[in-house]
Amino acid sequence: MDLDEWLSVRDYAKKYGVSIQVVVNWINRGIIPADCVEDLPMFNHIRMVRDKVYK
């Protein structure tokens, strides 16, 4: 996995000017597709989101 194209949920929210809860809601509702979300168990299961605009 190339981490250059991924951001943590927190960093994604900050970069795109939305709240963390909005990003989590987008993930749960499928606005951010499952193939664009990764949990990294080796880093305390931090959730990463592919760095692109979703809506």
pLDDT: which is higher, 6 or 55? 6
Mention every residue, 6+ apart, whose C-beta is less than 8 A from residue 4. none
Can you give the pLDDT at residue 3? 78
- pLDDT, one tens digit per residue, over 1-52 is 677 899 999 999 999 999 999 999 999 999 999 999 999 998 898 999 999 9
Distance from C-alpha of 53 to C-alpha of 42, rounded to nearest angstrom: 26
Q: What six digits make up the tokens of 50?
A: 């592919």
Can you give the pLDDT at residue 1? 67
Distance of CA 19 to the CA centre of its chain: 12
